[in-house]
Amino acid sequence: MIEKGEKEIMQKEAKFVTVIDADRLGKQFFATEFNLDTASVFLHKLLTDTSFVSLFKALKHGYVSPEPKDFITSSLGLHDLDSGYFNLFLELAEVANLDSNTVMKVAVESFIGDSMLSVWQKGATAYILKRAEGDFFGVAKLLIELDPSFTAFGVLVKADIARSAVILIDKLLYGAGLNKSAIRKLLIANKIDINYLFGDSYANGDTRKREAIVRLALLYKTETECEKFLERVQDTDPNAFIRGLINSHNDRDKAKPQKPPQTALEELECCLTDGKTLVCSEFLERIKIDVEFNKLANDLFFSVYENDALVDIIVVEGETVCNLDNCPIELSESCSIGVLHPIEIPTKCSYLKNLNLNEQPILQIRRPSYFATDLEKVSNEIKRVSGTVVNACLFKQHLKEHNFKLVFGEVSGLYEYASYFLGEYSIVLEFTPTDFSIEDQTLTLKSAKIYKGSDFVPVRGNLYIRGARVVRIETVPPRQLSECIYSLLKAGNLTG
């Protein structure tokens, strides 16, 4: 038994738990039998890491049964070894009298947080279902609070589609500050009937409610009842904005002119920043028949990959592939070719970084490389520009030059973020809320976070960031992380 004084000291010393500390704590804790005091201190330390990765790491040192412990887990096939570790957490939480809302936070994190925790989803699903058996609407309310993206709410939809539909449609029509685009997508993904909304609910609704119903109907547009409803609204609704929603949606459905094909320069620069590659046969063909591609390729360095591992660096001389000694070589048919990024240059080839190659068509060899600091890894934010004061007008100009998109803040109604898409990632820089129509003002840059671009939800031409999943900096490949930071510094005009 831990003495009261010792327990208080341990709690006061609890700080952010590193993965190494989590491993050590897990080994020590599971080496002996646990009780209320030891389980409480153990969880208290681990839960200071709000990403719950430390909890995940520590529990790996415990023993889990290969057999499911209850009917729900067994009947729904929700048990495996990883869900067993989540159940071990539930056992500890019960012993330590851990607040049930904190337990639910951990469950929800397996759906929206670090990808490492996603293996707990089966166990988390069983936990959510068990709690919903006793208090369906209470669990639904808690999930909405904890998960603005409504990802975990899908568990309730599959468990009881009727009650879930009531909640979702109510939030869609009357809720404030919610990710309504995500709600609409959840409704249509589960084929929830909405035809009853087209009668009295619409006719007697205020402008806000009618707008919400129209936006939902536009997603179901191909269904006959929705099509008839939208035609009626377009002809009869007195509100020009609501009629405009249908018109603008119809305009988007019309054929749009094709975007011009990507130039060879744009393609190669994309390969440099995103890490995209060409299969060997395509690369060899391009340097022989594509004049523009060949001309650019003769001034660049290329990476050769086998099974995603860098195995060689090559150059192009005329239409011939050569090694760094300018000797012609044969490439393996199984390899892929990318544009070399300086961050991946091996030590034995570090002399390349000192070459005077200022005339390259793309800034390649002399391109700066950036790494996350320890503080940035711990906080999961890029903090190196935080606190920088810049001229608002010049900042907006730099954002446009470097293809950043300004994003409104949800509360302030002013521009508060700037996002830049890089392949599957997006870096989002926060700054003080700003009205750029006001001249001669300054703004202060804050920190930046990295997201998966696919997690952003478009709303009225804006990007809905709240509820989007923040990517752990440690999991971003070095090339993409370097480019995200580089783009951030360019936007702030801080590269010099």
pLDDT at 76: 42
Q: Is residue 21 domain-shared with residue 130, that is, in the same domain?
A: yes
pLDDT at 493: 83
Q: Is residue 407 domain-shared with residue 302, that is, in the same domain?
A: no
Q: Is residue 272 domain-shared with residue 315, that is, in the same domain?
A: yes
Q: Is residue 12 domain-shared with residue 125, that is, in the same domain?
A: yes
Query: Residues 216-231: pLDDT tens digits?
Result: 787 666 566 777 888 8
pLDDT at 12: 41
Q: Is residue 445 domain-shared with residue 379, that is, in the same domain?
A: yes
Give which of 436, 419, 416 is closest to 491, Cα–Cα: 419
pLDDT at 290: 92
- Is residue 204 pLDDT above 80, yes or no? yes
Structure tokens at 238: 């007195």
Which region among 22-36, 245-259, 310-324, 370-384 has the lowest average model confidence (pLDDT)? 245-259
Residue ending a domain, choose from 290, 322, 354? 354
- Is residue 4 pLDDT above 90, yes or no? no
Q: Which residue has the higher pLDDT, 11 or 360?
A: 360
Residue whose tokens read 């327990």: 7
Residue ending a domain, choose from 85, 108, 134? 134
Q: Where are the beta strands (DSSP E) in 234-300?
A: 277-279
Kindly state whether residue 442 falls inside one of the protein's structural domains. yes
Q: Phi, psi (5° rounding) for residue 230? A: -65, -35
Kindly state whether residue 62 falls inside one of the protein's structural domains. yes
- Total number of domains in the chain: 3
pLDDT at 389: 93
Q: Are 242 and 207 in contact (CB under 8 A)?
A: yes
Mean pLDDT confidence for 423-438: 87
pLDDT at 14: 43
Q: Is residue 391 domain-shared with residue 481, that is, in the same domain?
A: yes
User: What does the DSSP assignment read for 62-79?
Assistant: S---SS--SHHHHHTT--
pLDDT at 271: 92
Kindly state whether residue 169 falls inside one of the protein's structural domains. no
Query: Residues 466-484: pLDDT tens digits?
Result: 556 788 898 899 999 999 9
Residue ending a domain, choose from 354, 384, 410? 354
pLDDT band at 17 (very low <50, low <70, confident <90, very high): low
pLDDT band at 456 (very low <50, low <70, confident <90, very high): low
Q: Is residue 334 domain-shared with residue 402, that is, in the same domain?
A: no
Q: 220 Cβ partners below 8 Å, 6+ apart?
A: 188, 194, 226
- Is residue 288 pLDDT above 90, yes or no? yes
Q: Is residue 323 domain-shared with residue 390, that is, in the same domain?
A: no
Kindly state whether residue 276 falls inside one of the protein's structural domains. yes
Kindly state whether residue 401 falls inside one of the protein's structural domains. yes
pLDDT at 282: 93
Kindly state whether residue 185 falls inside one of the protein's structural domains. no
Q: Are 242 and 235 in contact (CB under 8 A)?
A: no
Query: Residues 334-345: pLDDT tens digits?
Result: 999 999 999 999
Q: Is residue 57 domain-shared with residue 98, that is, in the same domain?
A: yes
Kindly state whether residue 496 falls inside one of the protein's structural domains. no
Q: Is residue 315 domain-shared with residue 407, that is, in the same domain?
A: no
pLDDT band at 464 (very low <50, low <70, confident <90, very high): low
Which region among 21-35, 284-298, 362-376, 418-432 has the lowest average model confidence (pLDDT)? 21-35
pLDDT at 322: 96
> What is the spatial distance between Cα 214 and Cα 192, in angstroms, rounded to a whole number?
15
Q: Is residue 380 domain-shared with residue 331, that is, in the same domain?
A: no
pLDDT at 435: 85
Kindly state whether residue 58 falls inside one of the protein's structural domains. yes
Domain carrying residue 462: 374-491
Q: Is residue 11 domain-shared with residue 122, that is, in the same domain?
A: yes
CA-CA-CA-CA torsion for 112, 115, 116, 121, nearest 10 degrees? Answer: 50
Q: Which residue has the higher pLDDT, 411 or 124?
A: 124
Mean pLDDT confidence for 407-423: 78
Domain CATH for 464: 3.30.310
